[in-house]
């Protein structure tokens, strides 16, 4: 059985054991690498959630995916919004301890459909040498839940982002389920790229994002000047427990 099919089979068995339906859409992008995450002190009593792996759960009734994480930084320019531990914390708002491929599988389980990451390139043989191909996939709502002064808050992750030029408000509706991709693992097999790079929710376009910002932004400053930065006043203390909430927005 192909590696990806084994992963999907494992996910389906786990869902069936919990009394949940198998994913309604199957893509060859998922993983079951064991992960761990310290518990966030956030009230989930109003949810009927199915735990998939430690730190990751879904609610099929609401179509939401919940990922435990922590505040990674509170100031500075951003290239990622959410990353896997030990990768891009220096440029991300939130760090999680759940593999991107696990989150991909969870999104499939609640009925979301993946597309592909964005691409940008330069072709100096043409007059307009910059070529942009936006990412595709279901639109994804990206929210975050946290506790501040004993009160639980839930907001769009975009509220933690501001324009360094103070000219434009961040568009919270501009994320899609890009789905990253597979690459050779050097041992004759394949690996899910975002599991290696940590690109869980991207802002700048590296072309490996699980969930991608819908606008293509080059990672080279001479092409796209850094613009989006952490909105420090809105972000809890560094290291604070949070829960990332992802949900496909259907037409």
Q: What is the bridge-based pairing of β-strands 228-230 and 56-59?
A: unpaired
- Cα gap 78→42, rounded to integer Å: 26
Token pair 């961040």 is found at: 170
Contact (CB, 8 A) for 25 and 210: no
Task: State the pairing for strand pair 80-84/94-96.
Answer: parallel
Do 31 and 56 form a contact (C-beta atoms < 8 A)? Answer: no
Strands (E), the chain: 50-53, 56-59, 64-71, 80-84, 94-96, 119-122, 130-133, 139-148, 151-156, 161-163, 175-177, 182-184, 190-192, 199-202, 211-213, 228-230, 241-249
Spell out the per-residue pLDDT of the chain, length 251, in tens: 343 444 455 455 444 434 443 333 333 333 333 233 333 455 544 457 899 999 999 999 999 999 999 999 999 999 999 999 999 999 999 999 999 999 999 999 999 999 999 988 777 665 567 788 899 999 999 999 999 889 999 999 999 999 999 889 998 889 999 999 999 999 999 999 999 999 999 999 999 999 999 999 887 776 778 899 999 999 999 999 999 999 999 87
CA distance 105 to 115: 14
Read off the pTM: 0.81
Quick check: helix, strand or coil at residue 195?
helix
Per-residue pLDDT tens digits for 204-247: 999 999 999 999 988 777 677 889 999 999 999 999 999 999 99
């Amino acid at each position: 059985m192909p590696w990806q099919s084994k992963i999907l089979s494992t996910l389906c068995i786990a869902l069936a054991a919990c009394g949940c339906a198998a994913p309604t859409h199957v893509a060859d992008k998922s993983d079951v690498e064991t992960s761990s995450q310290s518990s966030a002190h956030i009230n989930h009593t109003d949810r009927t959630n199915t735990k998939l792996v430690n730190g990751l759960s879904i609610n099929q009734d609401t179509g939401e995916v919940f990922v435990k994480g922590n505040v990674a930084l509170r100031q500075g320019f951003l290239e990622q919004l959410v990353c896997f531990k030990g990768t891009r914390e220096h440029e991300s708002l939130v760090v999680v301890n759940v593999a991107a491929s696990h989150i991909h599988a969870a999104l499939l389980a609640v009925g979301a459909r993946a597309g592909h990451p964005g691409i940008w390139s330069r072709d100096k043989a043409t007059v307009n040498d910059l070529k942009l191909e936006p990412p595709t996939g279901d639109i994804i709502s990206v929210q975050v839940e946290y506790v501040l002064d004993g009160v639980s808050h839930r907001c769009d992750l975009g509220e933690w982002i501001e324009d360094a030029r103070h000219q434009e408000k961040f568009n919270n509706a501009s994320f899609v389920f890009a789905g990253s991709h597979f690459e050779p693992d050097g041992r004759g097999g394949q690996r899910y790229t975002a599991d290696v790079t940590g690109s869980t929710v991207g802002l700048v376009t590296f072309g490996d994002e699980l969930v991608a910002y819908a606008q293509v932004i080059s990672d080279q400053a001479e092409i796209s000047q850094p613009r989006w930065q952490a909105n420090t006043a809105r972000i809890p203390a560094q290291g604070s427990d949070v829960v990332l909430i992802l949900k496909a927005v259907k037409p």
